[in-house]
A and B are shown apart, each in its own frame.
Chain A
Amino acid sequence: MSTALEQPKAQEKPNYLNAEYGWKSWLFTTDHKRIAVLYIISISVMFMLGGIFAMLIRLELLTPQGDLVNSDTYNKFFTMHGVVMVFFFLVPSIPATLGNFLVPMMIGAKDLAFPRINLLSWYIYIVGALFALAAIVMGGVDTGWTFYTPFSTTYSNTFVITAAVGVFIAGFSSILTGLNFIVTVHKMRAPGMTWGRLPLFVWANYATALIQVLGTPVVAITLALVGLERAFHIGIFDPAIGGDPILFQHMFWFYSHPAVYIMILPGMGVISEVVTCFSRKGVFGYPFIAGSSLGIAIIGFLVWGHHMFVTGMSTYAGLYFSLLTMLVAVPSAIKVFNWTATMFRGSISYETPMLYAFGFIGLFTIGGLTGLFLGTLGVDVHLTDTYFVVAHFHYVMVGGMVLAYLGGLHFWWPKITGKLYPDGWGKFSALLVFAGFNLTFFPQFITGYLGQPRRYHAYAPEFQVLNVMSTAGASVLGLGFLIPAIYLLMSLKSGKQAGDNPWGAKGLEWETASPPPTFNFDETPVVTEEAYAYAKHEEEPVG
């Protein structure tokens, strides 16, 4: 693997990490790379918090009786798990961290178009997260992350408004990041970096940014209305005061379905980069992978009703949403096929990031296909609101997104920190994550078809065996997440110098130093070749 050219000892080349020291230099930075690091730290904290709630949920479900905590507490566990993971980890996960760090570098820019807005978006995220934390500390929320009305507006006695305000605020962080990316990709590409040469990670983040900008305001409005109804009894969603609870679901899913694409598209971008690098081969079907990101972003806005097939919506609306759901699966399938085809006649090596990419392809395939089960009307009637949905969602979000995030983090860790992590431990924990994940969530497809409803504190005894398997898997999975946290942190101190391009990867970010200088490149790069031109003979001089 790495032909890590050890930098000479007198290495202290100026880079974004050693440019300035002290907490002010971090909290007032406008460097997209430092902001990305701030985000990595923040979302890691939130991920750990959400993970603790997940472990508590699985512990409770070890036995069918609700005996570990009482029902109210359990309901808060799954609500806080969902709110923290969805809004404070998954949505920002890749765009705000790897995207923030890499999008400017990949297009040969010095920074994002609006560096101060970028910092602002981190502060907004933190304020939102503080509200969510406050809601937890004050006593929690028990509405589920979906905030369904009229339960959330009239019946819940928990801190709904505090949590909703947190999500509302964090939404603006997402909007600003999206806005920044769109402008950056349009206006700040280096000479020669045409749209057809953009790395697929940039395409994926660009498509994501469109959804963030167009979709997030809708959930913000929806949650604001929930707050209004709850605080002032203005009848919007509660039928007892003249509202319509189904209206809430339309508004909520109009954002929250596209939001799952906010969560998964950047992960797909990571996989495109990793698969090409470790196959050392240009990507198969570039325009189709790039175009399918946009296709997903657009069609993703037209399928929200498939969350509502059993609400009593018109059967004809059901037909429409089911058909469009089948259609939105096509671009996802295209990506999977093209990644696989990219490996054909490649030169494949098995470093940690590639293992995560293998895992992603397999688990995302299962997650995507089981999505079709739920898009199929007659079957969804039975499956919706059961553990089948839980399993499907986690196959896409953990098996897909989290694996892509970990793969990406391992892929660009040398670039971000300048250090190498121990690859053996990396591989070991990647396998652990894969095994633990499947043991946790595969049994849930079965409990789902058996009929175990989700969000149940106590469940029928015949579901216990499968639930015990899930809980066992969750502890393996937890370990699989813990190990990378340890060795990655340790590598900061004791890791070997990575060198500029330890994987022999293509892309502008690999042509600059690791860690990169504050303005990314010593000279503005000029791009003369398509993305992933592995076969072109070694670096033409840049600039």
Chain B
Amino acid sequence: MDFPLWPEAASTVAGDVDNLYIYLVLVSAVMTLLIFLAVFVFAIKYRRRKADEVPAPIHGSLKLEITWSIIPFLVMLTFFWWGAKIFFLNATPPPDSMDVYAVGKQWMWKIQYPGGQREINELHVPVGRPVKVTVASEDVIHSFFIPAFRIKHDVVPGRYDTMWFTATKPGRYHIFCAEYCGTEHSGMVGWVTVMNPADYENWVSSGGISGSMAQQGERMFEQLGCSTCHLLDRQGRCPNLRGVYGSRVQLADGRTVVADDAYVRESILNPNAKIVQGYKPDVMPSFQGQVTEEQVLQLIVYVKSLAITGTPGATAAAPGGAGRRTTQPNGGNQ
């Protein structure tokens, strides 16, 4: 029977997490043994021998109290420091990461690639290449968990979060939803397939796709009528979206924001939240309820492509093409 006691380690961060975990286990084992041993030895050695014996009291010792407060705390600080290092590493995707988008929905994972491929409960990634996953939820809170990569991130409705990993070993590994999300929570599972780069290129090109994610977004953009105002309008009712993504936007209320994923999403679903300077509120209707989270992501990738090339629908988004992005602020998800 398949009976593992240790999870597979298949990402660059997994080894470090394992080492820290082993360190924690060792320190804890030593501590626990010491306490057990002391209790055991005292219980035997000082067992009551005469019914009426009364041992002399020991009131305490300041030196001991200080010692057993400070030393454990110093050891704990090493846990803290090492754990924090991994946490910060997890929070900072390398600039050359390829993008993947995962939308959680009761009870499945919908995966999209910039190249336009879409999958349900399956994620394909190449070995040795950083992958940045932008996660979003269609309904309740989910959590995207890949035990073999030792990473997990909650998927919270109403916002984007990012997580990243570099897979190190070809194979198939579990994807679990780790945040309880209703009836079929335990069925919200899938597989990540890690492939050699050549196999991955084959996989990418073999899919019969209806255009890249940016092209899918462009179609949405036209269907929903966004293009009338945001690209063609000459009367100045709406900001032209060419070159907007990644830039700083001056708002009517005096604030400046960076046009990142979260900003574009909010502008689609709640257009009055941030009005660009020089424009009026209540011009654009909300698209809340008319577009799914997946479609919003397609629109974002399209708007992003407008920034890179200035040409609508250009093939900016070959898988991993994100590497050419200018210094893009990190999602603004904090």
When C-beta atoms are compared, the residue in chain B nearest to A386 turns out to be: B178
Q: Taking CB as reference atom, which chain A residue is nearest B88?
A: A315
Known A-B contacts A378-B90, A535-B56; A246 and B2 likewise in contact (beta carbons under 8 Å)? no
- A239 CA to B76 CA, complexed, in Å: 38
Q: A286-B59, A313-B334 are in contact. List 10 more A-B contacts (CB 8 A).
A: A144-B180, A150-B157, A151-B182, A282-B58, A284-B60, A311-B154, A318-B84, A326-B77, A365-B36, A458-B187
Chain B residue, CB-CB nearest to A156: B182
Contact status B334-A323, CB under 8 Å: no
Which residue of B16, B38, B72, B147 is within 8 Å of A451 (Cβ)?
B147
Q: Does A361 contact B (CB under 8 A)?
A: yes
Say if the beta carbon of A180 comes within 8 Å of chain B: no
The interface residues of chain A lying within 8 Å CB-to-CB of B187 are 71, 458
Closest Cβ of chain B: how far from A57's Cβ, in Å?
A: 13
Find the A residue at minimum CB distance from B334: A314
A75 to B333 alpha-carbon distance, docked (Å): 31
A511 to B153 CA separation, bound complex (whole angstroms):
57
Interface string of B177-215 (1 = CB under 8 A from A): 111111111110100000000000000000000000000
- Could you tell me the distance between the alpha carbons of A386 and B183 in the complex, rounded to whole angstroms? 18
Number of A-B residue pairs, CB cutoff 8 Å, is 293
Q: How far is the CA of A281 from the CA of B222 in the complex (A)?
A: 83
Instruction: Output the least CB separation between B294 and chain A (Å).
Output: 16
The 5 closest A-B pairs by CB, nearest first: A378-B86, A451-B147, A239-B158, A376-B83, A377-B87
B-contact bits for A441-459, CB 8 A (1 contact / 0 none): 0000010011101111111
Chain B residues 118 to 165 lying within 8 A of chain A, measured CB to CB, are 139-141, 143, 145, 147-148, 150-154, 156-159, 161
Question: Do residues A378 and B185 form an inter-chain contact, with CB atoms below 8 A?
Answer: no
Residues of A within 8 Å of B, CB-based: how many? 98
Count contacts on B: residues with CB < 8 A to the other chain: 92
Taking CB atoms and an 8 Å cut-off, the chain A residues in 327-378 that contact chain B are 327, 329-330, 333-334, 336-338, 340-341, 343-350, 358, 361-362, 365-366, 369-370, 372-373, 375-378
CB distance from A456 to the nearest CB of B (A): 4
B residues near A455, Cβ cutoff 8 Å? 180, 185-186
| A512 at interface, CB cutoff 8 A | no
Known A-B contacts A346-B46, A381-B90, A465-B1; A372 and B79 likewise in contact (beta carbons under 8 Å): yes
Q: Is the pair A373, B157 in contact by a Cβ cutoff of 8 Å?
A: no
- Residue A217 lies at the interface, judged by CB distance under 8 Å to chain B: no
Minimum distance in angstroms from B311 CB to a CB of chain A = 34
Interface pair A358/B178, CB less than 8 Å apart? no
Chosen A-B contacts, 25 in total, with CB atoms closer than 8 Å, are A151-B180, A156-B182, A245-B157, A282-B57, A286-B59, A311-B156, A343-B39, A346-B42, A347-B55, A348-B42, A372-B76, A373-B24, A377-B83, A377-B86, A378-B84, A378-B90, A379-B83, A381-B86, A382-B150, A382-B151, A384-B152, A450-B147, A451-B145, A455-B185, A461-B2
Return the chain B residue nearest A143 by Cβ: B180
Q: Are A378 and B186 in contact (CB under 8 A)?
A: no
Q: CB distance A315 to B87 under 8 Å?
A: yes
**By the criterion CB–CB under 8 Å, are B69 and A72 in contact?**
no
| A53 interface contact, C-beta 8 A | no
State how many angstroms separate the Cβ of B287 from the closest Cβ of chain A: 13
Partner of A334, one of B2, B24, B69, B143: B69
Contact of B32 among A349, A369, A385, A460 (CB under 8 A): A369
Per the bound structure, the CA–CA distance linking A532 and B57 in Å amounts to 9
The CA of A449 and the CA of B32, in the complex, are separated in Å by 19
CB-based contact B178/A344 at 8 Å: no
Q: Which residue of A lies closest to B270 (CB)?
A: A242
Q: Which residues of B contact A314 (CB under 8 A)?
A: 334
Is B183 a contact of A465 with CB atoms below 8 Å?
A: no
CB distance from B269 to the nearest CB of A (A): 10
B283 within 8 A of A: no
Min CB distance B298 to A, Å, is 20
Bound together, the chains give a CA A377 to CA B181 distance in angstroms of: 24
Among A244, A322, A375, A446: residue with most chain B CB under 10 A: A322
Mark each residue of chain A from 233 to 266: 1 if its CB lies under 8 Å from any CB of chain B, else 0. 0000011100011100000000000000000000
**In the complex, A70 Cα to B202 Cα: how many Å?**
41
Q: How far is the CA of A323 from the CA of B28 in the complex (A)?
A: 18
A146 → B minimal CB distance (Å): 8
A238 neighbours in B (Cβ, 8 Å): 157
Whole-angstrom distance between the alpha carbons of A384 and B150 in the complex? 11
Residues in B neighbouring A453, C-beta threshold 8 A: 145, 176-178, 186
Chain A residue numbers with a CB within 8 Å of B179 are: 148, 385
A155 on the B face (CB < 8 A): yes
Alpha-carbon distance A157/B7, docked complex (angstroms): 36
Residue contact B53 to A333, C-beta cutoff 8 Å: no
Q: Mask for A15-27, Cβ within 8 A of B = 1, else 0?
A: 0000000000000
Q: Is the CB of B24 within 8 A of A348?
A: no
